[in-house]
Amino acid sequence: MEFAETKLKGAFVIALERREDSRGFFARAFCRTEFEQHGLNATVVQCNLSFSERRGTVRGLHYQVAPRAECKLVRCVHGSIFDVIVDLRPSSPTRLQWVAVNLSADNRSALFVPEGFAHGFQTLEDRSEVLYQVSEFYSPEHERGLRWNDPAFAINWPIAATIISERDQNHPDFLK
């Protein structure tokens, strides 16, 4: 795997290191040892699959707070997404900054989302499917959300939002 740290410390885009032959290719998509060598939490307690029927669907921005704060490894396995993370860590020099990465079935890259980050995405194609590996079990009492179009972050979504859940539309603005 090839790890490229984003401008937000601890958040990495992870590309596959492909071994190709006449059959196609083989690549490791996760390796606990390599994650730990990069200082990343390699705990995986749950894998989640998200399917969105329509292009323009927005999901997020979601996160969990301590003691159930979670890391995520996010990969688009069908279609493509504009994947967004926002640094919410109180002492971070990049607090309230965001990074977006295009993840797709074609590029097969993943985004490692550290604890203390909100996460969301917008589908760029119909029938997009996203696989998440997470380091904590889902905990409704620790779940939080921020509105996808909160002016505190000014995220430049690439296309018009077409479908957003009522819950995601009604998340509060971030209070500094």
Active site annotation includes 62 = yes
- 145 exposed, middle or buried (CB, 10 Å; 0-12, 13-18, 19+)? middle
- Of the listed 38, 62, 138, 171, which one is catalytic? 62
Helix (H, G, I), strand (E, B) or coil at 34: helix
Helix (H) or strand (E) holding 109: none
Residue-wise burial string across 49-69, b where 16 or more C-beta atoms lie within 10 A, e elsewhere: ebebeebbbbbbbbbbeeebb
Active site annotation includes 138 = no
Helix (H) or strand (E) holding 50: strand 46-52
- Of the listed 132, 138, 142, 171, which one is catalytic? 132
| Tokens (6 digits) for 63 | 């996160």
Helix (H, G, I), strand (E, B) or coil at 141: helix
Q: Which residues are catalytic?
A: 62, 132
